Amino acid sequence: MRVTIKLFADFRQGRFTVKECEYGGRISTLQVLHELTIPLAEVGVLLCNGRHVDFDTELLEGDVCSIFPKVGGG
């Protein structure tokens, strides 16, 4: 199964911007985050095909998963 992962802001550092990933079976957004060593507490917005999703969302063939960090300011 092929899924496109898009990372934004600080999540790109030491990783990638956009990457097509091949998975042998089912995979959830949570598993993707673990694979990329992205702490759940740092995730601000998680989208699948432009829609907000939860950590337990199962990804399907051709999905685009976008991962944004929390934004800080002051």
**Which pLDDT tens digit goes with each residue over 30-72?**
999 999 999 999 999 999 999 999 999 999 999 999 999 998 7
pLDDT at residue 73 in the model? 61
Asked whether the whole model's pTM tops 0.85, one would answer: yes
Domain spanning 2-69: which superfamily? Beta-grasp domain (3.10.20.30)
3-state secondary structure string, the chain? CEEEEEECHHHHCCCCCEEEEECCCCEEHHHHHHHCCCCHHHEEEEEECCEECCCCCEECCCCEEEEEECCCCC
